[in-house]
Structure 1
Amino acid sequence: MPQNNLLHNVAQDRICTALGIKIVASNEIILLAKAAGYDSVFIDLEHSIFSIKDVSRLCSTSLLSGITPFVRVPYQCGNGFVQRVLDGGAMGVVFPHLRNQKQTTEFYVLEEARKAVSCTKFPPKGTRSLTAALPQFDFQRIGAKDLIQQLDSIGSTVFVMVETRECLENIDVIAAIEGVDVLLLGANDLSLELGILGEWEHPRFQAVLENVSAAAQRAGKVFGLAGLYTRPDICKRVVQDLGARYILGHLDMGLLAMAMNKNMEQLRGMDCRV
């Protein structure tokens, strides 16, 4: 099956770069990402109107292009939905908004994290259902044992987004769960929950970066960062000083908007009346 660029890059102590996709459903966005040199794509099903068919098409094109496709699913979307995303070609799933629902915070946040792992792995590690002819293997028939081993080990990376108070307060025990691969800090939602939305220099936010990094290092997991698209200075420090190895660079919509604004500046500069 195709290489998992995240696991490959981390093994070489290199970062895995990612392009976020939430509005462009055509295969051309993957080819553009390939030409630009991205290692992976972060296909967003939480904040988009993409269909499963859209996502599967993007994943298949990514696999053929040597780019690793990861998909963020909606909160509490259900095991069956995650199954369809994985069967559609995703090499990993991003689970957002782990939070407390009832009783003690720790119990329910941990239960959500364990369920995230369980629905992505085959028995005895989890509860994923077995099928054949998957896009990860070019739809060829593969022996069941070999298929399970490869998908469990490199074809079903589990990202837990750290973007709630409950997740942050239980970060060490979540990081210690077998099968959780990446602690992905969602800067915008987490700063919103902490009451410091967009205050990236705030001591509390800076402390959060350090705490999540430390938890990832103690558990031997990957530390990732998303949401700081306009602060490359902070991203650079997080990579170089705090050991982050997965960075969501920007979303397709943001990149298009920036390029269009820049182009309009150039065009207005041609008008002699301005």
Structure 2
Amino acid sequence: MTARSIKERLKAGEKILAGWVYSLSPVTVEVMALGGYAALLIDQEHGPTELQMIHTQTLAAEARGAEVMVRVPSHDPNHAKRLLDLGISTLMFPMVDSVADAEAVVAACYYPPRGRRGLATGGIRASGYGHDTKGYFDGIPNRQMLMAQIETRGGLDAVEQIAAVDGVDLLFVGPNDLSTSLGHFGQGDHPTVRAAIDRIIAAAKAKGKWLGTVPTKERDAKALFALGFDLVISGSDVALLREAVAAHCKAQSPS
């Protein structure tokens, strides 16, 4: 695990620029970490990466000083549990649409009496395979961060209540899905969507929660940081490679 978690860095007032990871290569993760990303989010909601590869990619990222975050594919508590056991401290949950959703994901990620996460500290990477069980337990409040994605009309309607749920550390705006849910397909900068995002920002600030999002056509990472966002996930391995290859081939093509 990295010396300071994303949660600890946010507590210190830092702004975090992160990248998306869709590919299956630890080399790609290492290159992105060396390139300057403080954190890398492996996307299991839309990407093909399974647990064993996340382990390998995590080792590559941490060796270069970057923390791995994971967007889980669903709210399945067993999936979250395995990632936490692996030592992934920061999880993103898609489509948190209600207080019940928020409370359920928090319960899945904390040990009793706060939650219902199963205990197996002697054999998991998070505790150093049992070498530092006490340190792991004591560090959970400082390191473990849960991000709730607000990206549907239901999530927007309940955002003030979701923000109030203890254990939800950050509200993450998904402008593409949110715009689609509000009837403006893929228009993250539409005035209606902007107004919805302003409501999410206000809800997070009112409850002392951090804010995360992705850039839109009209708002890049710097603009979003200036707007009050704490975590911006900008650029994916696939998109950066696609754009670099296309630009290279255009510049070097003989025709």
TM-score, normalized by length of structure 2?
Answer: 0.92
Equivalent positions of 1:48-197 (< 5 A) are: 48-76=47-75, 78-99=76-97, 109-130=98-119, 131-139=121-129, 141-143=131-133, 145-154=134-143, 156-197=144-185
CA distance in 1, matches of 2:73, 2:188: 26
For the 8 Å contact 1:56–1:90, the answer to whether it is kept is: no
CA distance in 1, matches of 2:169, 2:229: 13
Partner of 1:105: none
CA distance in 1, matches of 2:17, 2:126: 20
For the 8 Å contact 1:30–1:58, the answer to whether it is kept is: yes
- Establish whether residue 215 from structure 1 lines up as the match of residue 214 from structure 2: no
Please state how far the C-alpha of 1:193 moved relative to its aligned partner: 0.7
Please state how far the C-alpha of 1:7 moved relative to its aligned partner: 2.2
Partner of 2:192: 204
Q: Would you say how many aligned residue pairs link Structure 1 and Structure 2?
A: 254
Partner of 2:241: 256
Task: In structure 2, list runs of 5 or more residues that go unmatched.
Answer: none
3-state SS in 2 of match to 1:216: helix
For the 8 Å contact 1:26–1:58, the answer to whether it is kept is: yes
Residues 230 and 31 (structure 1), Cα distance of their counterparts in 2 relative to 1, 3 Å cut: farther
> C-alpha offsets along residues 92-124 of structure 1, whole Å, 9 cap, x if unaligned?
11110123xxxxxxxxx2111011111111222
Task: In structure 1, list runs of 5 or more residues that go unmatched.
Answer: 100-108
CA distance in 2, matches of 1:5, 1:263: 36
Amino acid at match of 1:31: E
2:226 to 233, 240, 252: 240
For the 8 Å contact 1:62–1:69, the answer to whether it is kept is: yes
CA distance in 2, matches of 1:185, 1:4: 24
Q: Which has the larger radius of gyration?
A: 1
> C-alpha offsets along residues 237-266 of structure 1, whole Å, 9 cap, x if unaligned?
33213x101000111111111111111111
CA distance in 2, matches of 1:98, 1:38: 26
For the aligned residue pairs, the C-alpha RMSD in angstroms reads 1.9
For the 8 Å contact 2:71–2:92, the answer to whether it is kept is: yes
Q: Kindly, what percent of the aligned residue pairs are identical?
A: 25
